[in-house]
Every structure is written in structure tokens, then in C-alpha cells.
Structure 1
Amino acid sequence: MVKEASAYIDKVSNAGCIFTGEKSAVVLGDYVAGPSHVLPTGGTARFSSPLNISDFIKLTNLVSLDEASLKKLGPAASTIARAEELEAHARAVEERMEKG
């Protein structure tokens, strides 16, 4: 605890939650104050956010290209696939471009 904790907030770079003031016990953040400060372990606060509702939602992406999009994006995809030595990936997009 420090006096004038708000003066130090900008100096904290890795935290799930910052509790300031003597009335702000961590237990309140654990159970009733609102935002969770729970982080995965292993120092992941450097690149991860606290646990939140989106961690329990499963998302699925949908990709649906039309002919114009395939014509525009296909050559780049083929080039990248070959650079990664994924010949079948390159051929898959090239065959779709050839079929038109």
C-alpha cells in the first residue's frame, strides 16, 4: 500500500486488476466488485487479459469468398503456401482459380 496510489497506476504494466485505497480489498475483486482479476498462471499477464465472459464463449469464423475475392486473394495465398512449402495448399487455391 502507498499513499496516493493513483499516482502509481501508470507504472503498473502487468496486472489483472489494480486495487487502490485501503477499502479496496482483493477479496472484493474476487467475489463482488465486478471485474475479475484472475489471470492464467506462468507470467501471462504480460500478454493476456484477466478471465472474463468471453473466455467461456466459443466462436467460429466463417469464410465465404466470391469469384472476385478469390481472384484478388488467391495469388497471394498460393505464394504464401509455397513459401511455407505447403504445395497442396497452393494447388488447392490454384485449382479453384482455374475453374473460375
Structure 2
Amino acid sequence: MKPILVKEEPICSPNKRPHIDAVEPDEVKPGDKMIVTGRFFGEKKECLYKVIIGSEEAKNLTYINEQKVEVIVPDSARPGMTFLNIQSGGGAARSAILVQRAQ
């Protein structure tokens, strides 16, 4: 009988809660690129579960490393003060941003 190969899940530390140090720029429009810097975004790309702006999940994001993520503001992001939320294997962190109306 052949052994069954099981894909290993990434090991994401539940003890390293993410922390956002900065979001640049913190005033954006839909389609703009933001750089989020901080700590513990995930040891691997697979440990960064989601980035949410307001109630919209950012589908277009680039994991640079455990301290840096690039995010494109979703076209469906509503204008006004809202939160950028990062969810990783260690929990969640958020930072206030201003989404301006698209022109």
C-alpha cells in the first residue's frame, strides 16, 4: 500500500499578534497602493490571512515580509474614515485610514 501524501499546513505562530506601525499613505482612494509596516504579519506568506479595508477584503495584496505588506485599495471601498485590518495566524491588528471618494 502506497503512503498518502498530505500537504503540510504552514506553521503560523499563534503567540505573535500582529502590530501595525504605519500605513502610508493613510489617506487613499480606491485603486491606490498602500504600504503597511509593522511586526508579526506572518512568518510566511500563507500566515497572512486577510487584509480588510472597512468591510471589503483587499484581494490585491503583496506580502513582502513579516514586517511589510503592499495593498491596493479595493474599488468597492466606501469613502470615509474606516479601519484597515490585518488578520494573521497570531490574531488581528487595525489602523484608522481615510478613504476618499474616487474621481
Which TM-score tier does this pair reach, normalised by the shorter chain? under 0.3
Which structure's residues are more often strand, by fraction? Answer: 2
Kindly indicate whether structure 1 or structure 2 has the higher relative contact order, using CA contacts under 8 Å at least 6 residues apart.
2
TM-score, length-scaled by structure 2: 0.20
Higher radius of gyration, 1 or 2: 1
